[in-house]
A and B are shown apart, each in its own frame.
Chain A
């Protein structure tokens, strides 16, 4: 019983030790520089950050992100169908086509209502 956990314990401890050793070694091996305000700022391709990163986003991102999630998750139904593609045959193919048509109906609605327009 407990034997089966030994590989798991080894893996967890190796992972933990590796992370710990990197932090500790960085303290000793890394070049020691004086920490000025500029050095501690987040690096943004050399451009100085102007405002805080914690600000409210435009609602436009919400629409796009939400629609992405909705249409993205539907792919999940295609995996089991793809695996059983040969066995399901024509019936499965027609069913999946119907599913895609229904999904496409939703897509038409989204486009026509202008939910994807970046205004």
Chain B
């Protein structure tokens, strides 16, 4: 029991500290945004370090390897199918890809909190609950990425979603925010219904909720093959809602453009990575045998079609948007389509591609949303494309950073987005999904039009206004972090890729 707590340290720590920050806030009587702000930054940094420490039980470094050397933890040979060691009676996996995603989530949380502070101060809304909610959202996401049981997965998804419902309506006197919150809540709860029904049917067909047991059960005789297929379908529907994939993507632009910009930055990046982290073990570890049960690859084909349609619809809708926040929201839908390619490919390259692309997507998308929020505070309250005219004159640095993010989102080398797409596309080709890669390339080319269009607006269109002093405040740190992330991932992609690879060990 106690060794389980140590092995699952990142999750346990962040959950306890999230609760502690709530109590801390309650015990102090005066408004104490700053205390909780610092507290949550430290907590997230510590969680990041803990994740790095417990990373990768299969390679010979890290806390797990050390503990197993002294006989305190099971030897690295007794690994779970997904490259994870399970603790708490098989409920939570430690190490492995979960820790890689943990680092993505904590980094996203840190950047969001840093950018949120000046925003909340200027809105006079700095309640410490905002930071507590971010901590809880990170805890939920970490539960998702560490889940080795459907129950843990469900709790993680719900902890994350419920905090997102609240956060998207955080500015509760703003009509748009309340509306986006309501839409998100109703559709999210609806999707939860499908998700749990899928889980229930898979449970009925295989007799277990554990990923590994499901995997082994589906290799033998399945008691209710039809129920299993329907269950997988329903589960994919539920998770597609959370990831905002094609037929279930309509909520995303509304919610992303209505919610406060810093919250959108967090939801559309870390939230999407978490949904992918939920998808990945289910499609690749526990259900591959079930998905090709009758010898056909219907579900894989279905995912491929969803992926193709998601990127096309996302990019084409983004093309006609007049509002930059909404355009980025649609492009976020399209990026979910690219990420899904890795799942369709269902090979190790696809897996690594997803992890690499989630990391690079985090930096570029969060960065561009944070720039929007900085502009908001500088008085540019509407995000129309015209308002970006001549931005390079007004705010040269912000415009330059925005261009980096746009180039990276468009997938232009040497930025991170290019390598992410490259890995995903080659994975799909190796899995004989050449047509999907062609669709992806075409939709990337479409996306270049509006990403570069924004840069053209910023640099080559005139605006009457003179140079202004932007007031990024703490958001500057987030912007530096995300730019550094993009450039490092772009210049040294193999390093991050090998980290992603190592998290699966030899599996």
The answer on direct contact between A and B (beta carbons under 8 Å) is yes
Interface members, chain A 52-106 (any B CB < 8 Å): 91, 94, 102, 105-106
Instruction: State whether A109 touches B1 (Cβ < 8 A).
Output: no
The contact of B26 among A91, A94, A102, A108, by CB within 8 Å, is A108
A37 within 8 A of B: no
Least Cβ distance of B27 to chain A in Å? 7
Residue A39 at the chain B interface, CB threshold 8 Å: no
A112 at the interface (CB under 8 A from B): yes
Q: Find the A residue at minimum CB distance from B20.
A: A105
CB of A17 to closest CB in B, whole Å:
38
Q: Would A91 and B22 be within 8 Å (CB), given that A108-B27, A112-B27 are in contact? A: no
Q: In this assembly, does B320 line the interface, its C-beta being within 8 Å of a C-beta of chain A?
A: no
Q: Does A113 lie at the interface of the complex (its beta carbon under 8 Å from any beta carbon of B)? A: yes
Instruction: Determine how close the nearest CB of chain B comes to the CB of A87; give it in whole angstroms.
Output: 14
Chain A residue, CB-CB nearest to B16: A102
> In the bound complex, what is the Cα–Cα distance between A105 and B27 (angstroms)?
11
How distant is the Cα of A106 from the Cα of B23 in the complex, in angstroms? 8
B-binding residues in A (CB < 8 A): 91, 94, 102, 105-106, 108-109, 111-113
Interface residues on B, range: under 10
B19 at the interface (CB under 8 A from A): yes
A105 and B1: CB pair below 8 A?
no
CB of A99 to closest CB in B, whole Å: 12
Q: A102–B27 contact, CB under 8 A? A: no
Cα distance, A118 to B9, chains bound together (Å): 41
Q: How far is the CB of B233 from the nearest CB of chain A, in Å?
A: 30
Residues of A within 8 A of B23 (CB): 105, 108-109
Using A91-B1, A105-B19, A108-B23 as known contacts, list a sample of 6 further A-B pairs with CB atoms less than 8 Å apart, ordered by residue number in A: A102-B19, A105-B23, A108-B26, A108-B27, A109-B25, A109-B26
Q: How far is the CB of A75 from chain B (nearest CB, A)?
A: 18
Q: Is the CB of A112 within 8 A of B1?
A: no
Please state if A113 and B26 are interface contacts (CB–CB under 8 Å): yes
Q: Summarize B's interface: helix, strand, loop or mixed.
A: helix
Chain A residues with CB under 8 Å of B27's CB are 108, 112
Give Cα A42–Cα B20 distance, bound, in whole angstroms: 51
From A104, which residue of chain B is reached at the shortest CB distance?
B23
Most chain B CB inside 10 Å of its own CB: which residue of A91, A94, A109: A109
10 A-B pairs with CB atoms under 8 Å apart are A94-B1, A105-B20, A105-B23, A106-B19, A109-B22, A109-B23, A109-B25, A109-B26, A111-B26, A113-B26
The 8 closest A-B pairs by CB, nearest first: A112-B26, A109-B26, A105-B19, A105-B23, A109-B22, A91-B1, A108-B26, A108-B23
Q: How far is the CA of A46 from the CA of B23 in the complex (A)?
A: 48
With both chains docked as a complex, state the minimum distance between the C-beta of B30 and any C-beta of chain A, in angstroms. Answer: 12
Give complex CA distance A94, B5 in Å: 13
CA separation between A20 and B490, bound complex, in Å? Answer: 78
**When the two chains form their complex, are residues B22 and A106 in contact, meaning their CB atoms are under 8 A apart?**
yes
Instruction: Determine the distance from Cα of A73 to Cα of B26 in the docked complex, in whole angstroms.
Output: 23
Residues of chain B lying within 8 A (CB to CB) of residue A112: 26-27
Most-contacted residue by chain A among B19, B23, B26 (CB, 10 A): B26
A45 to B72, CA, bound (A): 71
Q: Which residues of B contact A91 (CB under 8 A)?
A: 1
Q: Give the distance in Å from the alpha carbon of A111 to the alpha carbon of B23 in the complex.
A: 11
List residues of chain B with CB within 8 A of the CB of A113.
26
A94, A105, A111: which contacts B22 (Cβ < 8 A)? A105
Residues of A within 8 A of B26 (CB): 108-109, 111-113
> Please, how many angstroms separate the alpha-carbon atoms of A106 and B129 in the complex?
13
Contact partners of B22 in chain A: CB under 8 A: 105-106, 109
Give chain A residues whose Cβ lies under 8 Å from the Cβ of B20. Answer: 105
CA distance A94 to B2 in the complex (A): 11
Within 8 A of A (CB), among B5-30: 19-20, 22-23, 25-27
Contacts of A94 in B (CB 8 A): 1
**Chain B residues near A111 (CB, 8 Å)?**
26
Shortest A74–chain B CB gap in Å is 14
Q: Name B29's closest neighbour in chain A (CB-CB).
A: A112
Give the residues in chain B near A106, CB-CB below 8 Å.
19, 22
Closest B residue by C-beta to A98: B16
Smallest Cβ-Cβ distance to B15: which chain A residue: A102
Residues of B within 8 A of A108 (CB): 23, 26-27
Chain B residues, CB < 8 A from A102: 19
- Report how far A105 CA is from B26 CA in the complex, Å: 10
Chain B proximity of A53: nearest CB distance (Å)? 28
Scoring A106, A108, A112, A113 by chain B CB atoms within 10 A of each residue's CB, the highest score goes to A112
Q: Which residues of A contact B19 (CB under 8 A)?
A: 102, 105-106
A111, B25: Cα distance in complex, Å: 12
Q: What residue in chain B is nearest A111 (Cβ atoms)?
A: B26
Q: Which residues in window 81-136 of B have CB below 8 A to A?
A: none
